[in-house]
Structures are given as structure tokens and as C-alpha cells.
Amino acid sequence: MQQGTLFTRRTVERHFRKHQARCPPEYREILIERILAKRWTEASLGNVVGIVASTFARHQLTDYDRLLAISGMARAEARLIVSREVSDILESWRSTALP
């Protein structure tokens, strides 16, 4: 038997409207699909959104993967280099809730 939480689309969309209202619609849909595709163990929806959004921003919206391709660049070092950019992206998505 599978354990974990499956969030409903309605619940996830409501969370985005309330907490990440300025996330671009094309990114929001990708993030929602990734959240809905997985069973989440011991994680609140807010934590799940944070995990998925951070991972997406790091890999898709920064030079993180290019940095990893540099010979000798450790993941921790690459994460540190892009961490401010990821934080800024996520902060730019936060805003007052949409109706």
C-alpha cells in the first residue's frame, strides 16, 4: 500500500493564488503538475511547493546545471553560487493573494 499525501489540483491552485500569486502562469502549471504527480510523505503543501519551486528555479532559471558541468564543481558549491538568485526568484513570486 502506498503511503503519503496526494494533493488535489484545487488545493494546490488555491495555495498558489494565495502564496505565489505572481508566479508566471507557464511556470505555475509546470509546478502544479509536478506536485500532483507525486505522493508526498510528511510534508505540508507549503513545504512541498517550496521544494518543487526551489528545484525548478535552480535547474531551469539559473546557471546551476551549467556550473555542475564545470569540471570539479561540487553540487554544494554550485548551489551556493545560485542560492541568492533562487531566493530572489521565489520572493518575486510571492505577493498578495489573487481573488
Instruction: Give the per-residue pLDDT at 95.
Output: 74
- Whether 84 is covered by a domain: the verdict is yes
Domain membership of residue 2 (yes or no) is no
pTM: 0.88
Q: What pLDDT digit, counting tens, does each position of 5-14 carry?
A: 789 999 999 9
pLDDT in tens, 73-86: 899 999 999 999 99
89 Cβ partners below 8 Å, 6+ apart? 57, 61, 62
Q: Is the predicted pLDDT of residue 39 greater than 60, yes or no?
A: yes
- The answer to whether position 68 is within a domain reads yes
Task: Report the amino acid identity of residue 52.
Answer: V
- Provide the grid cell at 38: 507525486
Answer whether residue 80 is part of any domain: yes
Amino acid identity of residue 94, one-letter, is R
Mean pLDDT of the chain: 91
> Which set of grid coordinates corresponds to residue 39?
505522493
Which residue range forms the structural domain that includes residue 39?
A: 9-93
Q: Domain count of the chain? A: 1
Please give the backbone phi and psi of residue 5, each rounded to the nearest 5 degrees, phi first: -110, 135
pLDDT at residue 19 above 50? yes
